[in-house]
Amino acid sequence: MRVLVVGEVPFIDALAGLCRARNHKVDLFLSDDLEDQDTLDNMVRAATRCQIAIESLNESPSAKLWLVEGVEVNMPPDAPLLVSALCASATEIASWTENPARVVGYGLLPPISTTGLVEFAPALQTDFEVVSRARRFWEELGFSVVRVPDSVGLVRPRMVCSLINEAVRALMTTGASVENVDTALELGMNHPRGPLTWADEIGLDVVQGTLEALQRFWGDDRYHPAPLLRQKVSAGHLGKKNGQGFYKYDAQDSEP
């Protein structure tokens, strides 16, 4: 199968690797590179020949709208479009497209592996056959697939980003160190990783974008991003993907 994978790191790198491990032919495009006209033209050509497309751009609905429209309008009519539903719901994303019946939402958070879980959320417009094909695709990649109702952030990303936001507030108000906040959850609550480490792995811009989308969707100020989170994003401290978030990272080192 020929798969188009387009969006931001670290999401698309991991997804492309999983697809290649199943012997799919992958066309991979980083959203930041699409400002170059030649790269954009190559992506359009790849979209015309793909059998399935996976989109993962989560920093803002406006950036996502531009990307989804550019991909979907060029895809073959029978190709499903799998969209990350962190900063917009699958139903909203489907409304941006010419063929909303082909759009299916999903939810993944780094670290992404075949031993993990993918949340699966068809849009209200999604065709039943597309739902079946999309689910089989995720299962063939090795994921455990859990169907959830379509909404911004779905279930796990909503909970994880909320936890991260509260951890950032605790960092601001308690005088605790970054390491101590992480240790409190890792050792005190038996979490697999600290929330600030996880924020760096996801990308602080993605966490902020998801929280802002949740606030808009639910009209609830509990999702308002903590001021320090906003400051970090404004400063370009986005986490592991660019070397500095709540921790600093060496170029070859994946650990803080």
pLDDT tens for each residue of 37-47: 999 999 999 99
Q: So what's the pLDDT on residue 255?
A: 47
* 156-242 CATH: 1.10.1040.10
Radius of gyration of the chain measured on its C-alpha atoms:
18
Tokens representing 124?
């209200």
Q: So what's the pLDDT on residue 189?
A: 86
Whether pTM > 0.75 for this model: the answer is: yes
Is 156-242 the same fold as 2-147? no
Residue 251 pLDDT > 80: no
Chain segment 88-101, per-residue pLDDT in tens: 999 999 999 999 99
Q: What is the DSSP string of 49-87?
A: H-SEEEEE--S-HHHHHHHHHHHHTTS-TT--EEEE-SS
Q: What residue segments make up the domains of the chain, in order of their start?
A: 2-147, 156-242
CA distance linking residue 219 with residue 182, whole number of Å: 29
Q: Of 111-120, 150-159, 174-183, 234-243, which gets the smallest average pLDDT?
A: 111-120
Neighbours of 106 (CB within 10 A): 27
* 2-147 CATH: 3.40.50.720
Identify which of 250, 240, 181, 175 has the alpha carbon closest to the alpha carbon of residue 206. 240
Q: So what's the pLDDT on residue 252?
A: 54
Cα 118 to Cα 82, 149, 165: the distances in Å are 12, 13, 22
